[in-house]
Each structure stands twice: as C-alpha cells, then as structure tokens.
Amino acid sequence: MTIRSRTETLVFEHPFRLEGLDRLLPAGAYEVMTDEEMIEDLSFPCYRRVLTMIMVPGEWPYTSAIEMIATSAVELANAQRSDKGTSGD
C-alpha cells in the first residue's frame, strides 16, 4: 500500500471552531497535513484521503505547545466558508 502525505497552510481571518474541539481557535495560519493511500489495481494512479490533521496551539496554560488534531476535509472547508462569510463590521 502506497501512502503519500501533503502539507498545506490554511489562513483564518477570524477565530473559528472545529467539530469535536470544545474551544475557539484564534485567527491565524494553520498547518494541515493530509495522508492519502493509493487505490490498488487501477489502470491509473488514484488516491483516497485517509487522514487529515491540523496543528493548533495548545489549550491554556500550554499555549506555547502545538497539538495535532484529527479532523476532516469537510470540516475544514466548512470552517473556511464560515470564516469568509464573517464580516469584521
């Protein structure tokens, strides 16, 4: 089984929440890591997402620490959509 990983940075302009996390995350840039596995026995390379993790600051009083939280691409897309829909007015 072949696994590939990719990393991207998501930027949130406003504080946001993720499902399953009981605290508000501050605005800022967040590193997201995604693991995908190759679907075998196809005539072309095809991958499916098996894991999405986001790096978030630790909960107080451990704010200098970084936590790696399992999430989903759908949850992150919803958070980004919500962030773009939030006005600063």
Which token pair is 64? 């200098």
Coil, helix or strand at residue 88: coil
Q: Number of H helices and number of E strands within the chain?
A: 1, 4
Contact 5, 35 (CB under 8 A): yes
Contact 24, 15 (CB under 8 A): yes
pLDDT tens for 13-40 read 999 999 888 899 999 999 999 999 999 8
86 or 18, higher pLDDT: 18
pLDDT at residue 89, rounded to an integer = 52
Q: Sketch the domain layout of the chain as residue ranges.
A: 3-85
Q: Which residues partner with 52 through β-bridges?
A: 34, 71
d(CA 51, CA 37): 9
Give the DSSP letter of residue 24.
Answer: P
* pLDDT above 70: residue 88: no
